[in-house]
Amino acid sequence: MSRAKLDAIRDAAPSVLPSLLICDFGDLRTEVARLAEAGTKVLHLDVMDGHFVPNLSYGMPIVEGLRRHTDLPLDVHLMISDPLKYARPMVEAGADMLTFHVEAVEDAAHTARELKQLGVGVGVALNPDTPLTELEPCLDDVDMVLVMSVNAGFGGQSFNPVALDKLKLLRQRHPDLLLEIDGGINAETIGPARAAGCDLFVVGSGIFRADDYGVAIAELDGLIAAAGNGEGAKS
């Protein structure tokens, strides 16, 4: 597995990443084609196990199916209790970035190093109530931090502004680290997230509930541009 896709993710920033959790899984080929036509540069996949989080989503077959239909980088968010158990199958299915939750593992640095051995980009995620200090042991071993602005796996939550404070601190302390945000990202929250230093913005309903994906993404891109580079976010 080449690290070229990680470079593609870096080069895409700042960018909106459609979350495929609520797309039409009965017609993935068309959904991917519509997203590509709308200018999507990276796809985001939420993998839930019903254990670490209370919901179930999908696993390797969906990742593999998507890979057959697109060359776009696949950013896979592992909301699961044992990320190392499923990491290699995910990579073999076509994942380009694997993000694990710091709350799900005992040794985040070890987990990050093991994932990196698979030749993919490595991200670490944390929920709103988890302090940034929990990330310190693994930050030298990851390519990206995913700051959750809602609790992973739970629906119907409001955007938690603590995510903005975390983004600002991470950007100030780690200017070269990719920063991603997920949860409640829409036309009202994407600008503040960019101003706080975020690079990658995971969006679900704001895209898939729109009639025209291109118009929805263009609007979000405009709000990102209007927010500037924030606390030193990548230009």
Q: Where are the domains of the chain?
A: 4-226
In this structure, how many other beta carbons lie within 10 angstroms of the beta carbon of residue 66? 23
pLDDT of residue 158: 82
Spatial contact of 195 and 163, defined as CB atoms under 8 Å apart? no
Catalytic pick among 75, 143, 182, 199: 182
In the CATH scheme, what is the homologous superfamily, with its name and number, of domain 4-226?
A: Aldolase class I (3.20.20.70)
pLDDT of residue 62: 85
Extended beta strands in the chain, E state: 15-18, 43-48, 74-79, 97-101, 121-126, 144-148, 178-182, 200-203
pLDDT of residue 27: 84
- Asked if 46 is an active-site residue, the reply is yes
pLDDT of residue 4: 85
191 assigned to a ligand binding site: no
d(CA 90, CA 52): 18
pLDDT of residue 46: 92
205 assigned to a ligand binding site: yes
154 assigned to a ligand binding site: yes
- Asked if 107 is an active-site residue, the reply is no
Going from the first residue of the chain to its last (235 residues), give the mean pLDDT of each consecutive group of 10, the final group possibly shorter: 81 95 83 95 90 73 90 94 94 96 96 96 97 96 97 76 97 96 95 97 93 96 89 52
pTM value > 0.75: yes
